[in-house]
Structure 1
Amino acid sequence: MKESILFEKSRNFAIEIIYLYKRLSEDKREYVLSKQVLRSGTSIGANISEARFAQSLNDFISKMSISLKEANETYYWIDLLMETGYIDDEAGEHLRIKCLELIRMLQASVKTSKGKL
């Protein structure tokens, strides 16, 4: 059940990231950083989706660990976009909070799963 909540949260986060990408590329004409945040931000949920159908516990841990890395990378890109003025503090902080929530959930999931090995 926890993974389905995580899946839904990551999917909703990916949708927000897609809208951010569209806004950055259309309104701000920013293509490099916006593409990076798009890739990492949507990869979180894609790997969680793969983990839901993992062939083994090790496979599950691997996919969730990749999601965790992608979430950390996404946080980095959001931070850079804020620092450079491409996104305002309010929008950036909203995304950072959502991203940190995913990071914490992924950390807990990976830790719990490793304890089962």
Structure 2
Amino acid sequence: MSPESQAKTRQDLRLRTRQFAIRIINLVSKLPKSGPSKVIASQILRSSTSVGANYAEAYRSRSKADYVNKHQMCLQELEETLYWLDLITDLQLIKPSLLGPLKQEADELIAIFVAILKTARSSA
């Protein structure tokens, strides 16, 4: 892959992780304002917004280990976000039709980060 192509792919994923966070932020505004929902809202906001932040930091890493660690953190935050989406589904806090596309996007992002980590680890 050419350097220009790599830069475009990196920029596309940066935008995609930011859009994912925005979609979660919009979802949270639809949650009931009850005590348990507030806790879930806080947790899912933290985990979903951390994905893009950690991804951005990965490309300013000082070492290969830090680069891998930041991508691993992205993966962990996506897994946590999926957990909260599943909990929202189980508690019937929001219509499942609104959650399906977000779960699909989280799954796709997880697959991307797994591939990034495999490549990074194999080139070490």
Q: Would the aligned equivalents of 2:55 and 2:70 in 1 still touch at CA under 8 Å?
A: yes
Q: 1:86 maps to what in 2? A: 93
- 2:74 pairs, out of 67, 72, 80, with 67
Q: Displacement of 1:14 after TM fit? A: 0.5
Structure 2: 5+ residue runs without aligned partners?
A: 1-5
2:43 aligned to which of 31, 36, 43: 36
CA apart distance, 1:45 = 0.6
2:58 — aligned with what?
51
Larger of the two Rg values belongs to structure: 2
1:14-42 deviation digits (Å, cap 9, x = unpaired): 11111112222xxx112011111111011
The answer to whether the aligner puts 1:16 opposite 2:23 as a matched pair is: yes
What is the aligned partner in structure 1 of residue 12 from structure 2?
5
Aligned to 2:84: 77
C-alpha RMSD over aligned residues:
1.0
Aligned residues: 114
Question: Which TM-score applies when normalising by structure 2?
Answer: 0.87
Gaps of 5+ in 1: none
The Cα shift of 1:55 comes to 1.2
Query: CA contact under 8 A between 2:61 and 2:67: conserved in structure 1?
Result: yes
Instruction: Calculate the TM-score normalised by the size of structure 1.
Output: 0.92
Question: Percent identity, aligned pairs only?
Answer: 35
Equivalent pair of 2:89/2:96 in contact (CA under 8 Å) = yes
